[in-house]
Amino acid sequence: MIHKEKIENYSGSMEALAEEIGNLKYDALSNFLNLLADKIQNDGDKDERRGRVRLASPLHHCSEQLRACKLSIDEAWRICEPYMREV
């Protein structure tokens, strides 16, 4: 896998991307964080299988932290959801 500096088919800045992701409804943001955590976890697993333990460890830690963030957003969604009107 080649890690890139830009996202293909996205011409905006990283700041704009962060803003767009941050503007998601909290349930959608929770899903995104879960998917990102899965991706980072899988990358760590692959590196661990290749014997790259020093790399795998921070990737696994990152995945755990993303899952913790997801739980916080889930709580925010539980608070906001009753007040959200269908768009």
pLDDT for 30: 98
Cβ density class 30-57: b for 16+ within 10 Å, e for less: beebbebbeebbebbeebeeeeeeeebe
The type of residue at 49 is R
In this predicted structure, what is the pLDDT of residue 72? Answer: 98
Residue extents of the structural domains in the chain? 25-83
Do residues 11 and 23 make contact, with C-beta atoms less than 8 angstroms apart? no
pLDDT at residue 86 in the model: 63
Distance CA 9, CA 62 (A): 26
Determine the pLDDT at residue 46. 97
Ranges of the chain with pLDDT below 50: none
pLDDT of residue 53: 96
Looking at residue 87, what is its pLDDT?
A: 53
Cα–Cα distance for residue pair 16/6, rounded to 1 Å: 12
- Residue 55 CA to residue 53 CA, distance in Å, equals 5
